[in-house]
Structure 1
Amino acid sequence: MPIVVVSATRSERAIFEVPAAIDVLDADRIREGQPRVNASEALAAVPGLVAQNRQNYAQDLQISSRGFGARSAFGVRGVRLIADGIPASMPDGQGQAATFNLDMADRIEVLRGPFSALYGNHSGGVIQLFTREGKGRPTVETSASAGSDGLYKVDMSAQGETAGIGYVLDASRFHTDGFRNHSAATREQAHVKMNMNVSGGGKLTLVANGLRQKDTQDPLGVTWATWQRDPRAGETDATDTAAPKRTLAERYDTRKSIDHQQAGVSWEQPIGAAKLLLTAYAGNRHVVQYQSFSRGFQAPATHSGGVVDFDRDFHGGEARWQGVLPLAGGKLTTSAGIEYGNASDDRKGYENFSGTTLGVKGRLRRDEDDSVSNIDPYIQSEWQGERWQLTAGLRHSRIRVSVADRFTSNGDDSGKLRFNATMPLAAVLYRVTPSLNLYASAARGFEAPTLNELFYSAGGAGFNFALRPARSKHVEGGVKAMLTSGARINVAVFEVRTSDELVVESSAGGRTSYRNAARTVRKGAEMSFDAALGAGLTTRIALTSLRATYENGARLPGVAHAYAFGELAWRESAGRWGAALEAVASGKVYTEDSNTERAAPGYGVLNLRLTAAQSVAEWRLSEFVRLNNLAGKQYVGSVIVGDASKRYYEGAPGRNWVAGISARYRF
């Protein structure tokens, strides 16, 4: 069946006709044989994108697209996240993939390259989640899974349609003792979605999500020697007087609590041949994080800071008009709109000790109000002829950052910043044959510093008002081909040149400061191949080659030069049984700018999943067993870029398993 996407053009288009590198993960890939805990489970199959489970639920996934976002010490940076049309990234560009509800996911679209510039402040790409809509007879479903390291997850959901109103309800609880020392986590999520048709062919959708993580442990990174000794181990605190000595994470009880909720509403209304879309959202995010200290292993009395406590209110909206007109023997589709976002933090910082007790909230050391807002008008037009397709777009971003410092005994950090950028896009697609398309595109990108990147100057000083936005030029060429009725291939080559790249200057004790590098260059190629081989067999291959360097030739840290995913899957004709073998491989990853420290070595792992399904009357049962890292490979799964104490490495699990069962009843 033709795959339809909306991320690149903001209107429904066959993916084969879009002049951009874009991949779609359907519900089966997201749900089948997966515990649905982390988006990285499914995103591994996308070329150009690297999504690492850091085995640290206090810091979220590490996601990079064409090398953008690899430096992020917390959350997702350089890639815009959107769920059901509601941004999961704040106006400054920082986002949290943990807010994605994978249990109710219908599909995920991953857009990379020049077209992502029309989504504003970021440079790498766009990851957009679409959850299912309630329809048909009511159903209820419950699922449970368990696995290595004390992992378990339970989920309950209901969906259906009553009196013209579709509804989806979901709630889940996840827990793990953690693979790494001091990495236990418990996550609770809830999701509500309602949709209804309104007069005149319109549609109204309401979405609400909640996420809660209480005292999620942060295992921190470790040195190379510690990782070699034991991939699970934490770094020992050499100044600890206890016997045996505790790890740094244990001594300071590094942890994070998150309470996040948001709601949004969208209204889509046809107006003649045009269409109007209005979206509004609001939410709150409260975070308390206990860090290890940034001044080494000195006596507690000499330390400052260490506990972050912020309460964030955010809101925003979008208005978009889209029209279609005949023009020059073809069709012209134009989208014009404006986006607005605002996030305001009541931020406090405390010492991470009281008296001689570590890991508790002590004296106040930071007290400020931080806010960031954006307003972005944009326009995008696409003309389709018989063989040619031309696209042009323009977006202007205006971002304002302000700080009101109420704790001035260590200096007044109050101030304001303004960032502006205009991002043009041009693309052309040529239909060589009905089964072969060629395309080329170019755009300018823009990446303003996030609040997290502005909070600290070098040496642990205050707000870094000297940071400038990174600006980039993207060019891409590609081929999309239908080889047979059951096989397709997409190939893209690209180059990105960036000035004032934002890079890590120092990272220690949970605090990271940034600076602007002179220039960087990214050159690469991506390929995805999907085929139905017959006899129930299918395959998918995703390959990435990326050379990301500074102007002096040094490699960008956190970025692998090659990444590959391969899968051979089988499903019995009646859908009752299934199996798949997955292979994932990555090249080595440098840990800091000079490339002189030990790089995390490349690796390759094999995973196996087995699935089964049965139907009895109105019941449908399904089961899965998943075995990861079949060979028990010991490898570094992710790195902390630029850590001042050389604790760069975050170990990945050896051989591990997870199994699950679900039962669904249709009324």
Structure 2
Amino acid sequence: MQSVKYLNFKTTLLCLTACIAQNLYAETETQVSTQQLPTIKVQATRSDTSLLQTPASVYRIEQSQNQNNIGVNLTETLKGVPGLQLNNRENYAQDLQLSMRGFGARSTFGVRGVRLYVDGIPATMPDGQGQTSNIDLSSFDHIEVLGGPFSSLYGNSSGGTILTTTKEGQGRDSIELGYSTGSHNKNRADVVLQGGSGQANEPSYVVSSSYFDTDGYREHSDAQKVLSNAKLSWNLDDGSKFNWLMNYVDISANDPQGLTRNQWKANPKQQVPFLKQFNVRKDINQTQTGVNWTKPIDDHHEIYSMAYLGHREVTQYQSIPSSTQENNRHAGGVIDFERDYYGADLRWTGKDLLPNTRFSAGLAYDAMNEDRQGYENFNSNGVYGVKGNLRRDENNTLWNLDPYLQASWQFLPKLRLDTGLRYSNVHYESEDHYIKGVNGDDSGKTDYTKLLPSIALTWDITPKISSYMSYAKGFETPTFTEMAYPISGTAGINFALKPSTSDNYELGLKAQNQWGDFTAAIFQSNTQDDIVSAGTLDGRATYQNADKTLRQGVELSWNKKLWKELTAQASYSFLDATFDADISNSDPKKVIKSGNYIPGIAKSQAYLSLGWLPETGFNAGLDVRYMDKIYVDDLNTDSAPSYTVTSLNIGYIWKNNDWKVRTFARADNLFDEDYVGSVIVNDGNSRFFEPADGLNWSAGLSVTKQF
């Protein structure tokens, strides 16, 4: 029945009402003993509001509180954000598995459905495919995570938005040298050069570079990574600010692939013996640069502009048998492509042109050109893991030109209205150059367009408590990778794959008082033509549209400085993500029933941490993370079990005028939990499971000298 499928919103609203009453009481107590808390402005919604007054689920994570780690990927920093599911595959060939409120959970590699930015420069390709591998934790400052309806401000594939910001050079010139090591022969060395500017028109700078390698937790999971990042910042005489950014990443990683349940239980470190002959691996090389410029014209007008360009190369060897490639329409077992991508964003903001208003109007342009080839993964002697005959050759192009508007109006002292409108349009074209025998011309093109309105109403109940309600239309196009293979397994672009659209609703409460910072949100997303997995076979993933899906849930977060330098953080997420209509199949046993749970998504997540975080001296932290079971396929035939893992870290920081020394040691999965870190959704060989590491350790030392 319908009443079973949907959350009991009366009960949920009652809970929120109780929270409001509790925080109103806390507010009264605060008036007796006032505690000044810092006002933190967030940039994610482009509305120049504080964290408390932003009408969206937005969270800010400071890197300064997450330094006791080896610094390789975002799972070490981006923790405890409700609604965000971030899984470490223990597989550097496939990046992290990241989803927001269930959007993006289908991805077998990289990030989809969630947009990524670094210093305002997209880390998501114009087609919606993103990666976290180019985010440099050595020069990292903070992250803002935006979930819910207001993510649609960023257009295509914005089921959530993650904006990372690197440091700006400050003070005297300095050099930092660091080295970290850990289990499985993990080694990371890095150097950071930085310096501030003494006066206007002189640049501050941060330049960092690191090298990382590991043998990997599992067989055939060794990896090497070089990452460099540079940022120059100018504060000019006219009040404007200019940033220039440069990023380079080079990764070579072997891929252990997934295991069946029996294989995982027998030996989680193994690679399936049959797959060893294929030498499955991936090489990635990417260079990207960008600039952004903010200029206040006067007290009422401001201009922002951004431009970027980049080049990405990927070569991936898959585990596809030669017998499968006997089909003349097959695209081979080696993926080899180069992408050139670029874009720009120009935005005007007007403040108080009418009383208590703020207007923004902008135009965003992104484009990508992909030269893609496919080759057999064997030679004439039947040896696998080498590049053989050409089986695919095409040029794919994509571009979008999105105008957008945004307005904010404080129409009453305690009520504010925020609205937005974006016209998202994405244009694909593929030119097939491999026309041989029965492999005909697979060229084609298609256009996807959608008008994306958003609206939010904020009520400032007291100076320290606010609530909001919001709605927005969402839009997500298939990526080039998702369109690369038709469900039939033949070559050519899958132009039958349609974009998904969603209606997103949210009701939230925020409080900041002597009891800490508290947020609560309930949400619902109704999606049409959702892009879901159609199966993964021998490392090749295909996708289809689901008529309707439903995501709804509750998110809670709390953090507080308990005493002196002792801080606490806690969060909880409940997400009910289901198919809301049957997906038919010629085999009755394979019909996906309405009410089945969407695979790759945990229904519940919880997080708790305690940290002793002084600026110098001894520091320590303890965190506990719980993840509910995760179904592995649309039929819900199996699941990765729930788990709870605990991590402990300690460190020491010593400073004087010219020197700083930082040391740390940490233990992850302290109680050696045997669990699955992530799943490969709908794997055709039932190799769904990617096991997580057991008890593991890391330690490091860094020395900084100022000049």
Confirm or deny a common fold (TM above 0.5): yes
Q: Does residue 113 of the first structure (1) align with residue 153 of the second (2)?
A: no
* Structure 1 partner of 2:601: 559
**8 Å Cα contact 1:193/1:207 also seen in 2:** yes
Q: Name which of 511, 524, 528 aligns with 2:540.
A: 511
Q: Does residue 334 of the first structure (1) align with residue 364 of the second (2)?
A: no
Q: Which amino acid aligns with 1:70?
A: A
- Counterpart Cα distance in 2 of 1:12 and 1:295: 57
The structure-2 alpha-carbon separation of the partners of 1:134 and 1:253, relative to structure 1 and needing over 3 Å to count, comes to: same
* Structure 2 partner of 1:413: 442
Q: Name which of 675, 691, 706 aligns with 1:651.
A: 691
Q: How many Å apart are 1:483 and its aligned residue?
A: 3.5
Question: Under a length normalisation based on structure 2, what TM-score does the superposition of the two structures give?
Answer: 0.90
CA RMSD of aligned residues (A): 1.7
* Structure 1 partner of 2:302: 275
* Structure 2 partner of 1:580: 621
Q: Does residue 480 of the first structure (1) align with residue 526 of the second (2)?
A: no
Q: Name which of 171, 181, 184 aligns with 1:149.
A: 184
Q: Name which of 115, 123, 127 aligns with 1:88.
A: 123
Note the alpha carbon deviations across 1:538-590, whole angstroms, 9 max, x for none. Answer: 10001110000001100000000001111011245x63011111001100000
The structure-2 alpha-carbon separation of the partners of 1:135 and 1:575, relative to structure 1 and needing over 3 Å to count, comes to: closer
Q: Name which of 9, 21, 25 aligns with 2:57.
A: 21
Q: Name which of 667, 671, 675 aligns with 1:635.
A: 675
SS at match of 2:112: coil
Note the alpha carbon deviations across 1:121-168, whole angstroms, 9 max, x for none. Answer: 114200001111112211110111000011010110111135621111
SS at match of 1:98: coil
**8 Å Cα contact 2:116/2:123 also seen in 1:** yes
Q: Alignment length, in residue pairs?
A: 649
* Structure 2 partner of 1:359: 385
Q: Name which of 225, 235, 257 aligns with 1:197.
A: 235
Q: Name which of 431, 441, 460 aligns with 2:460.
A: 431
Q: Name which of 392, 417, 437 aligns with 2:419.
A: 392
* Structure 2 partner of 1:244: none
Note the alpha carbon deviations across 1:22-75, whole angstroms, 9 max, x for none. Answer: 000012234x21211111212222110011111111111110000011110120
Q: Does residue 609 of the first structure (1) align with residue 627 of the second (2)?
A: no
- Counterpart Cα distance in 1 of 2:328 and 2:386: 14
- Counterpart Cα distance in 2 of 1:262 and 1:3: 33
**8 Å Cα contact 1:349/1:365 also seen in 2:** yes
The structure-2 alpha-carbon separation of the partners of 1:130 and 1:538, relative to structure 1 and needing over 3 Å to count, comes to: same
**8 Å Cα contact 1:300/1:353 also seen in 2:** no
Q: Which amino acid aligns with 1:26?
A: E
**8 Å Cα contact 1:269/1:276 also seen in 2:** yes
- Counterpart Cα distance in 2 of 1:299 and 1:367: 17
- Counterpart Cα distance in 1 of 2:81 and 2:693: 22
The structure-2 alpha-carbon separation of the partners of 1:316 and 1:126, relative to structure 1 and needing over 3 Å to count, comes to: same
Q: How many Å apart are 1:299 and its aligned residue?
A: 9.3
**8 Å Cα contact 2:609/2:624 also seen in 1:** yes
* Structure 2 partner of 1:468: 498
Instruction: Indicate the percent of aligned positions where both proteins have the same amino acid.
Output: 41
Runs ≥4 in structure 1, deviation > 4 angstroms?
294-304
Q: How many Å apart are 1:209 and its aligned residue?
A: 0.2
SS at match of 2:357: strand
* Mean CA deviation greater in 410-419 or 300-309: 300-309
- Counterpart Cα distance in 2 of 1:302 and 1:398: 31
Q: Name which of 208, 215, 218 aligns with 2:255.
A: 218
The structure-2 alpha-carbon separation of the partners of 1:506 and 1:285, relative to structure 1 and needing over 3 Å to count, comes to: same
**8 Å Cα contact 2:532/2:546 also seen in 1:** yes
SS at match of 1:379: strand
Q: How many Å apart are 1:195 and its aligned residue?
A: 1.0
Q: Which amino acid aligns with 1:430?
A: W
* Structure 1 partner of 2:395: 369
**8 Å Cα contact 2:329/2:490 also seen in 1:** no
Q: How many Å apart are 1:5 and its aligned residue?
A: 3.9
**8 Å Cα contact 2:322/2:378 also seen in 1:** no
Q: Which structure has more strand as a fraction of its residues?
A: 1
Q: Does residue 350 of the first structure (1) align with residue 341 of the second (2)?
A: no
Q: Which amino acid aligns with 1:569?
A: G
Q: How many Å apart are 1:311 and its aligned residue?
A: 0.9
Note the alpha carbon deviations across 1:348-401, whole angstroms, 9 max, x for none. Answer: 110000022110000000000011111111011111242111101100011001
**8 Å Cα contact 2:549/2:578 also seen in 1:** yes
* Structure 1 partner of 2:705: 665
**8 Å Cα contact 1:196/1:204 also seen in 2:** yes
Q: How many Å apart are 1:3 and its aligned residue?
A: 4.8
**8 Å Cα contact 1:293/1:303 also seen in 2:** no
Gaps of 5+ in 2: 1-36, 581-593
The structure-2 alpha-carbon separation of the partners of 1:283 and 1:123, relative to structure 1 and needing over 3 Å to count, comes to: closer
